[in-house]
Amino acid sequence: MSFADPYLLAALLLLPIILLIRSRIGDGSVPGGFSNLALLSGFKPTWRLRYRWVPTLLRAGAIALLIVAIARPQRSQADSELPGQGIDIALVVDTSSSMGSEMGTGTRLEVAQRVITEFIESRESDRVGLVAFEATSLVVSPMTLDYEALTELLKSINDLQLGESTAIGPGLSEGLNLLRESRARSRAVILLTDGEDTSTSIDIKPLQASRIAESLGIRVYTIGVIAQGARGGSLNVDEEALRQMAEITGGRYFPAESEEGLAQIYESIEQLEKSRVGRPQFGAYDELAPYFLAAALLLLVLEVGLRSTVWRQAT
C-alpha cells in the first residue's frame, strides 16, 4: 500500500497532543457540588466510570482513519505495470584497429566481446542496443530484448570496416539516437574505447554529444581500455576527456586494464542503474480511501450511540 499524499499523515502526530490537552482540561462539563466528599468514600466507581474513556478513544480512532483516508491510500494493480520499466542501454563499442592489440587472453576487442556478451546474457527485462564506431558509426542492433540475436551480432563486429580513425563523438551520438524515443525510467549509454578522438571531419565532437545526452536525460558511462603498465607514462586514451563526457551527464568514467577489471566495471554500471530505477511504477491503483472513511464513520456512529446510552450519565 502507498499514499498519494503521504505528507498529510503528519497530522496524526497532533492526535496524542489533543488527547493530552483534553485529559488535562476535561470536556467542559460542570460537575455537581458536594459539601463533603466523605459521603462518597464508601462507593466504588462503576464500570461505566472506569471505562468512560472508551468514547474518546473511538473518536480519536475515527479522526485517525479520516486523516489516513485524506492521504489517499492506494494499492497498485499487479497487471497495470507501465511499459518500459527496465533499463534501456545503448552499448557503443570502438572497433578501430588499435582494439586488435593484445590484452591478456585475447585482443582488446575479443575481451570486450566476451565481457559484453556476459553482460547481455545477464539481462532480464532491459532493452539493449549496439553501436560500433571507427571513423564512422554503425547501428549493429536497435534496442531489443532478443539477447541471443544481439550476442550473435556482437560477434560480427570484428569484420566491420568503418575507416581508420576513432570518431568518439559520432559513435556516442548514434547511441543517443537509439535511446531518444525510449520510455524507460533509466536510459544509459556505455561507451568503450581504447583511444583518443582522432576524427578530422566536421562531425559532432565528444563533449558536444555529451551535452546532447545531458539535455535528453541520458547518462553516459565511459570506459577507457588502457594498456597494461601504461600508468605513469603515456596513456593510449584521453582519460580527462572521457571523464568529462561522463560527468556532464551524471555518469562515471572507468579505466580498464584487464578482462576481470572490465567485467567488474559492467557489473558496477548495472548496479548504479538499478539503484536509479527503484521500484516499479504502475498505471492503475485501487483507491482504499472509501474503506477508511467507512471505518471512521462506523466508529463515530458507535461513539455517538454509546454517549447517548451507556455513558449518558457517566459523562
What are the structural domain ranges in the chain?
60-79+285-315, 87-277
Strand partners, 193: 224
Predicted local confidence at residue 18, as pLDDT: 78
* Cα separation, 238 vs 230, whole angstroms: 13
Q: What is the average per-residue pLDDT within 268-297? A: 76
Predicted local confidence at residue 33, as pLDDT: 55
Residue 209 pLDDT more than 80? Answer: yes
Residue 296 pLDDT more than 80? Answer: yes
Predicted local confidence at residue 117, as pLDDT: 96
Fold of 87-277: Rossmann fold (3.40.50)
Q: Which of 94, 273, 257 is nearest to 172 (CA)?
A: 94
Range picked from 8-22, 29-43, 175-189 for highest mean pLDDT: 175-189
Q: What is the average per-residue pLDDT within 149-174? A: 88
**Could you give the percent of the chain with pLDDT greater than 90?**
38
Q: β-pairing, 73-76 with 285-287?
A: antiparallel
Mean pLDDT for the chain overall: 82
Of residues 303 and 187, more confidence is placed in 187
Q: Of 7-16, 148-157, 203-212, which gets the smallest average pLDDT?
A: 7-16
Q: pTM for this structure?
A: 0.62
* Cα separation, 22 vs 288, whole angstroms: 31
* Cα separation, 241 vs 49, whole angstroms: 80
Of residues 196 and 116, more confidence is placed in 116
Of residues 157 and 201, more confidence is placed in 157
Predicted local confidence at residue 84, as pLDDT: 46
